[in-house]
Amino acid sequence: MSEEDTRYLASGIGDTSPDRDRLDLIRGILEDDAVWAQPPPGGADRLLSAITRERQEPAAKRPVHWRTWAAAFAAAAMVIVVMGSLGVFDTPEQVVTMQGTDLQPTASGEATIHDTGAGWSIRLELIGLPPAAEGQYYEGWLWSEDGDGISVGTFHLGGGDSTVTLWSGVDPDEYPSLWVTLEKEDGDPSASDQIVMRGGLATP
């Protein structure tokens, strides 16, 4: 890549809507087999050292060979910007509205469910749900239409509005109801009938 191309790419870093010329240039970079080759051992360290010398040495003494690597880094940064703008790094998510039951009618909240590839994280933003009393705790559940419940974690809350993160190893699409129950610390792993909040997933 020429220095002119490098400067052109670098000038567009941070632009969430790259123009067609930049996209064509990035496409050409990605089609070059050398881009995907294993970098030389210690390459990153040498690049950083070269950049440091660039800042410290007079222009007449600066080495030139590192510019190729700098171009690759500029191109890679631009590719990341483009891919981010196209949503390549986005992970699928669902947002579920949570409502309090008759046991906690003033409670409300929202659950954001992210598919991480290794499972599903469930981020609960809760409003108006009081801390669990001593000897009790809250438990999150995913519930299927067949009546099967899967625990996705427990929590107590510390007072006031709170955010907690739960985790599921099963696909929420197959367990489309999200419940929060109040449990006793009695060693019983089954769900109690004290359902304090519930919400439904939008299934396909």
Q: What is the pLDDT of residue 103?
A: 96
Q: Which segments in the chain show pLDDT lower than 50?
A: 62, 64-66, 79, 81-83, 85-91, 203-204
What confidence score (pLDDT) does residue 93 get? 82
Which CATH number applies to 93-200: 3.40.1650.10, 1.10.645.10, 2.60.40.200, 3.90.870.30? 2.60.40.200
pLDDT on residue 88: 40
pLDDT at residue 201, rounded to an integer: 81
Write out the two tokens for 29.
């970079």
Output the pTM of the full model.
Answer: 0.55
Residue-range domain boundaries for the chain:
3-85, 93-200
Whole-number Å distance between alpha carbons of 146 and 170: 15
Check residue 157 and give its pLDDT: 85
